[in-house]
Amino acid sequence: MKDLTLYPALIFYNGEKFLDQEILTYVESIFPQYKAEDISHKKLTKGEIEQLSLHLHLSIWEIINKDSAYYRMFAEHIEEMSPEEIIDLICRHPDLLKSPIIITQQRSFIAKFPREILELALI
C-alpha cells in the first residue's frame, strides 16, 4: 500500500456502520494525518482487497464478514468459491469485507473496539 508512506494511518471503514464511524473518530483524534476510505461509497479494487489480505496476514476467507446479509445470501456457495471468486464478490458487495481495517507502520488489524485505536497511541 503506497499510501502508507504518505500517511501514518490508513483506515478502510464502512460509513453505514456505527462502530466503523466511531472508530474513525478515534483515528482522527490520534493521527493528525490519516487516509480514510469509505468502502460503502468507494468500491475497492481486486488489487486493494488482495493487499488488505496480505497486510492483515489473513486469507481471503478470513476477511469475510459473516454477519453480512450478503454472506447469508451466498453462504452455501462461498466455501466452494476460489479466492478470485470471493474477491469478485467482495468487489460487488463491499459489506462482505470485515471492517474497519486499520493499517499503520506498526500494526495492521480489523478493529473490534475503539480502545484498540487508543492502544496505538501507546506504541
Q: What does the pLDDT read at residue 120? A: 83
Task: Output the pTM of the full model.
Answer: 0.91
How many angstroms separate the Cα of 5 from the Cα of each of 19, 33, 77, 119?
Answer: 27, 11, 38, 21
| 2-122 topology per CATH | Glutaredoxin (3.40.30)
Q: Choose among 100, 99, 105: nearest CA to 33.
A: 105
pLDDT at 105 exceeding the cut of 90: no
- Given this model, what pLDDT does residue 4 score? 57
What pLDDT, in 10s, does the model give residues 32-82? 899 999 999 988 999 999 999 999 999 999 999 999 999 998 888 888 899
pLDDT band at residue 88, thresholds of 50, 70 and 90?
A: very high
